[in-house]
Chains A and B, each alone.
Chain A
Amino acid sequence: MNSREAIFASIRRSLAVHGDEAPRRFEVETRLKEAPPGVVPKRGQGDLPARLATFKAEAERAQASLAEIADWAGAPAEIARFLRENNCPATVRMGADPSLAAMPWSETTLEILHGPSDGRDVNAVSAAFAAIAETGTLALVSGADNPTTLNFLPDNHIVVLPRDAILGDYESVFAKLRGAYGKGGAPRTLNFITGPSRSADIEQTLLLGAHGPRRLHIVIVG
């Protein structure tokens, strides 16, 4: 018996089952198929204006900074302003996300680099897949559009978030995910990000910028 078989045999011995019981299999299949939501907190619920307000409050609690702009065309200017005011270099790296690519970057003096980060970038821009009002959390998915290294290696992470992508809760993001990747499917990496990187490992003192970004700036569009 190999280890896999030994472990399954031990589990089944302890549970006093043989593994072929139809009702058990049915119960498991049903749960995997139906994915019941459980208890979903009220905090993130409500119409879009309510979700926006909750999202902003919660993200700020998590020490993210926020800006709201009317349309996509205004994003480069806002990003340039943020970098200037924080004395950051005027270079940003981003992936191939079409909504980012379509922005009027030439209206700013920002230098734009494309592709994943090798650790030498100070600033990165990503587009969010969704956001969660309940906890002020961004959801980002891996891929050529928004490489995952951009979420972690640069010092400043700027995330562009369409207003109507602010959902109430994790469950709503999963629904959107299933729409994009199919039931049971997933991107290689789904990052839920709530504020900038931090550590409290030294004397329980909270310090920002542990291994990931020191700043997280969210630009809400729309």
Chain B
Amino acid sequence: MNEVATSAHFKENAHEALTDARLQGALGFSRNFVGRRAAAVARLPEFDALRDSARAIKDHTLAHLDLYLEAYERKVRESGGEVHYAQDAEEARQIVIDLCRSMGAMSVTKGKSMISEEIGLNHALEAAGIEAVETDLGEYIIQLRGETPSHIIAPAIHLTAKDVEQEFRKAHRDLPPDRSLAEPEQLLSEARQVLRAKFLAADVGITGANFLIAETGTSIIVTNEGNGDLTQILPQAHIVIASIEKVVPTLEDAAQLLRVLARSATGQDASVYTTLSTGPRRPHDPDGPRAYHVVLLDNGRSAMLGGEFEDMLRCIRCGACMNHCPVYQAVGGHAYGWVYPGPMGAVLTPSLIGVAEGGQLPNASTFCGRCEEVCPVRIPLPNMMRHWREREFERRLSPAPLRYGLGFWAFFASRPALYRLGADLAARAMRLAGRGKGRFSWLPFAGGWTRYRDLAAPEGATFQSQWRARSGAVR
């Protein structure tokens, strides 16, 4: 079982998002990413070559995934860590809970992890009586609100400073009620103070992994806040939860991917903290976790290998596709209804929760192609969304009006003579109907259009009919 999805109600979710003035105000912040990425790319002449390199590394690793996982696992064991395998979300949650219980853990701090969101780990920990505290500032804020992230790298991007202040006043009741929280600095400072205590008290720290390195058995996390580091070095145990496709062969390969990750994500040349963790603390180390566990999650990914959605497994979760997506920019992440929003979510969600549940998402795209244009590992996102539409169409899951409409249209479009005649009659009739204004402000069967926009009326006879008349007269 995964987190409950509302992806099937994308249209309704989008309507809610579009009519939420507060959200619409906050969404403006997400547009900053576009210029920042462009500036970072402009500073690095090798950027496109690095994208090719990143793509090749991912493809190579996926084609040898079984062997790299074996190598990775061996190295983790050699360095004193343990590797656990989970076929699905339920199994992953159980492994983490069992590990926490075996160590008598009552409190857990967490670095930002999309896999944790995918498996609904926080709820499971709470149900098992273990306090789970998100420590990434954005994740912490949405955890207080009982929400899911609306963006994979900026989870609280749908909120304003005012929203955060309200949440902090509600949650931090032991702080003076008359304190000022008007400035973002004050909000950050308060979160730092509250979470510092949580970091120092935690029994177990759970992080995700941006990459796993087969050569050394290392997990890598990338953060700007340093929360992922405090999460893993202070408690007695560090648990890494990651999906199987995160493995890469070598340190050099990770460096290639890191060079495109930060630039694509936030427009930084490098994130502030790139941390490579290998096993538990060494015998003479004065700090660091005494135990190191890695939970590797499949959850449908192994079945994507070798198929038409394999390219999606190259994704490094930078968020560039959503930052540049006109649909995401308009409605934000929650409208997508599950864990992964934007174009990458539109492709991945049906793979992970099924096309019947997630099929709306790949339909809600203009195919503008900007996601593919900026993707650091060159995932052909529009093509894969189209593949989902094909699956949907084959399984007769597309809405009936669309299917019948297409069938009706296809009947004419595959009969040129009939089509020309019909199109000409229709164009002439519509010209008469739209005469005077030259456009329609309402048309039957086109309400989706004319509710919001005028529609230009045809000029008169079709081009083909005029051309034939002319050619006939001349020749």
Contacts and interface: CB of A to CB of B under 8 A. Distances in A.
Interface of A: 2-4, 6-8, 10-17, 19, 24-25, 27-28, 31-32, 35-43, 58, 61-62, 95, 115-116, 118-119, 134-137, 142-144, 147-149, 151-153, 169-171, 174, 177, 184-205, 207, 209-213
Interface in B65-87: 65-69, 71, 75, 79, 85-87
Interface of B: 26, 29-30, 32, 44-46, 49-50, 52-53, 57, 60, 63-69, 71, 75, 79, 85-87, 91, 135-138, 141, 154-157, 159-161, 164, 184-185, 187-188, 192, 195-196, 199-200, 214-218, 224-227, 229-230, 233-234, 244, 249-253, 255-256, 258-259, 266, 268-282, 284-288, 296, 298, 302-307
A209 B137 CA distance: 12
A9 to B, nearest CB: 9
Contact of A192 (B52, B161, B275, B288): B275
A15 B67 contact: no
A209 B227 CA distance: 11
B218 A186 contact: yes
Q: Which of A19, A38, A190 has the most CB of B within 10 A?
A: A38
Contact of A39 (B49, B87, B218): B49
B53 A195 contact: no
Contact of B53 (A39, A95, A187, A202): A39
A189 B303 contact: no
Contacts of A171: 252, 255
Nearest to B258: A170
B305 A3 contact: no
B273 A192 contact: yes
A138 B157 CA distance: 30
B283 to A, nearest CB: 10
Contact of A41 (B44, B67, B288): B44
A140 to B, nearest CB: 10
A202 B156 CA distance: 7
Q: Which of A11, A169, A213 has the most CB of B within 10 A?
A: A11
24 contacts: A2-B85, A6-B87, A10-B303, A19-B66, A62-B268, A62-B270, A95-B286, A142-B281, A143-B282, A144-B284, A152-B229, A170-B251, A189-B275, A189-B276, A189-B278, A190-B276, A192-B270, A197-B273, A201-B156, A203-B29, A210-B192, A211-B226, A211-B230, A212-B273
Contact of B67 (A19, A177, A203, A210): A19
Given A148-B233, A200-B266, A204-B154, A11 B302 contact: yes
Given A39-B46, A152-B229, A152-B230, A201 B278 contact: no
Contacts of A186: 79, 216-218, 276, 278
